[in-house]
Amino acid sequence: MSTVIVYAPAAGHTKRDHPEGSHRLAGLMPFLEAQGVLADLRPLDPRPASLTDLRRVHSDGLIEQVRRVAERGGGLLDHGDTYATAVSYDLARLAAGSCLTAVDAIMSGQARNGFTLVRPPGHHAEHSSISGFCLFNNVAAAARYAQATYGVQRVLIVDFDVHHGNGTQDIFFQDESVLFVSTHLFMPRMFYPGTGGLSEIGVGAGRGYTLNVPLLPYVGDEGYGRLFRDVVWPKAKAFAPQLILVSAGFDAHWQDPLAMAGLSLRGYAQLTQTLVEMANRLCDGRILFVLEGGYQVDALSYGILNTFYALLGRDMWQDPLGPMPQPETDVTDLMATLRERHFI
């Protein structure tokens, strides 16, 4: 069965000198072709998400805010630097809809897995609030679409972007049908968004279905690997997902300019291989990666390439940037706390 790729780079959603711009994906397709993987992927045409699709995860007020700001030619959508251009409403709908197209292929059995290379990103977009460069929550829309269209009862969302997926957490915080797992740098009042602490585990019916893994700076390949193997994996196994969605941010790479985590490209490759193996064992291989952050273009491009290697079942990776030069931060105490809180 095939691996699908949906490419929606949103060239018109770009602000001068902004880190989240079209330059991130501009050279990606020629790069993938030169590396010899593009011919083995099945391309799908993106389609815009409908208002019904968006309303499953967002308030009418949020959707209308994006449409209105774009209609008047663009501007800021929050008090920080989340922006819209005149075409951002349409392009954000296309980003979300691209994920639904990939879900269709995977859930119908036409494809085994896939990766949507889309912008603008989405995991900071809450039900009613926009922030963090994100307009509509692409991965959340995909989860709700899979549930509404294919009757999926249990969706696992894993977010390995260096920033906490506060938007995704907000949307599913009271929901036992979605297990949300986020590994992220956590320094309240010092590093965006400041959420995702150990005590945030869900409320009501969703209590225990949010697993936050808050990290100190410079946790690297070994620490991430231990956390995924000994904490994330058993939590996922107990949940028994029918579909796995991954918010794939490559800004935890040690060279990324917006953070200070310690993953190398090899470490990222090992995480993606672990997640693909998890899908193979738990849900017949059904896994979709959805692009989030990543602002060092070489790390982003090779991270995406290595993810396709994993999706295609190739035991290989490329890492021209090498490992983090400083010693790793130990995660032993964090692992013990997580196991105790989540009965792992």
Angle (CA) 193 6 73, round 5°: 60
pLDDT surpasses 80 at 1: no
What average pLDDT score do residues 19-36 get? 97
Give the pLDDT score at 265.
Answer: 98
124 is catalytic: yes
Q: What integer pLDDT is reported at residue 163 of this predicted model?
A: 98
Q: Please report, to the nearest 10 degrees, the dihedral formed by the alpha carbons of residues 37, 245, 69, 78 taken in order.
A: -110
Q: What are the residue boundaries of the structural domains of the chain, listed by start? A: 2-342
DSSP states of 303-315: HHHHHHHHHTT--
Residue burial 232-249, b: 16+ Cβ < 10 Å; e: rest: bbebbeebebbbbbbbbb
pLDDT at 344: 87
pLDDT bracket for residue 2 (50, 70, 90): very high
Instruction: For residue range 177-232, list pLDDT tens digits in order.
Output: 999 999 999 998 899 999 999 999 999 999 999 999 999 999 999 999 999 999 99
Say yes or no to pLDDT of 277 above 90.
Answer: yes
Residue with tokens 């070994």: 222
Catalytic residue (one of 124, 163, 184, 253): 124
Write out pLDDT tens, residues 117-141: 999 999 999 999 999 999 999 999 9
pLDDT at 211: 98
CA angle 315, 223, 301 (to 5 degrees): 50
Backbone φ and ψ of 196, nearest 5°: 95, 30
pLDDT in tens, 148-182: 999 999 999 999 999 999 999 999 999 999 999 99
pLDDT at 43 over 80: yes
pLDDT of residue 102: 98
Is 327 exposed, middle or buried, given 0-12, 13-18 or 19+ CB atoms closer than 10 A?
exposed
Mean pLDDT of 261-277: 98
CATH domain 2-342 topology: Arginase; Chain A (3.40.800)
Helix axes 265-282, 297-311, angle to 10 degrees: 30
For the cut 90, the answer to whether the pLDDT of residue 91 exceeds it is yes
Is residue 243 within 8 A of residue 201, CB to CB? The reply is no
Beta bridge partners of 183: 213
Q: What is the pLDDT of residues 291-333, one digit of tens each?
A: 999 999 999 999 999 999 999 999 999 999 999 999 999 999 9
Q: How far apart are CA 112 and CA 223, in angstroms?
A: 29
- E strands within the chain? 2-8, 42-44, 74-76, 83-85, 111-118, 155-159, 178-185, 210-215, 243-248, 287-291
Confidence (pLDDT) at 269: 98
b/e sequence 165-176, b meaning 16+ C-beta within 10 Å: bbbbbbbbbebb
pLDDT band for position 44 (50/70/90)?
very high
Percent of the chain with pLDDT over 70: 100
* pTM of the complete model: 0.98
pLDDT at 152: 98
Percent of the chain with pLDDT over 90: 97
The one-letter code for the residue type at 309 is Y
Using only the alpha carbons of the chain, give its radius of gyration.
18
Average pLDDT value over all residues in the chain: 97
d(CA 125, CA 129): 6
pLDDT at 79 over 90: no
Q: d(Cα 153, Cα 241) in Å, to the nearest integer?
A: 8
The per-residue pLDDT for 340 is 93
CA–CA separation, 150 vs 170, rounded Å?
Answer: 23
Per-residue model confidence (pLDDT) at position 201: 97
